[in-house]
Amino acid sequence: MIGAIAGDIIGSVYEHFSIKTTDFELFHQASRFTDDTVLTVAVADCIINGKDYAQTLKEYTRRYPNAGYGGNFFQWAFSESEEPYYSFGNGSAMRVSPVGFAFNDLQSVLEEAERSAAVTHNHPEGIKGAQAVAAVVHLARNDYGKRKIKTYIVEQFGYNLDRTTEQIRPNYQFDVTCQGSVPEAIIAFLEAENFEDAVRKAVSLGGDSDTIACMSGAMAQAYFGEVPYQIGEKTRSMLPPELLAVMDEFNRFAGLD
So what's the architecture of 2-252 in CATH? Answer: Orthogonal Bundle (1.10)
Parts of the chain with a pLDDT under 50: none
pLDDT, residue 256, reads 85
pLDDT, residue 18, reads 84
Specify which residues 177 forms β-bridges with.
Answer: 89
89 phi and psi angles, rounded to 5 deg: -70, 165
- Which pTM does this prediction carry? 0.97
Query: Could you tell me which of 182, 47, 48, 199 has the C-alpha nearest to residue 121?
Result: 182
pLDDT tens figures, 4-56: 999 999 999 998 788 999 999 999 999 999 999 999 999 999 999 999 999 99
Q: Where are the domains positioned within the chain?
A: 2-252
Distances (CA, A) of 172 to 35, 208, 211: 22, 10, 14
Distance of CA 5 to the CA centre of its chain: 8
Contact yes or no for 214/235 (Cβ under 8 A): no
- What span, in angstroms and rounded, lies between the C-alpha atoms of 28 and 41? 23
Name 240's Cβ contacts closer than 8 Å, sequence gap at least 6. none
pLDDT, residue 1, reads 86
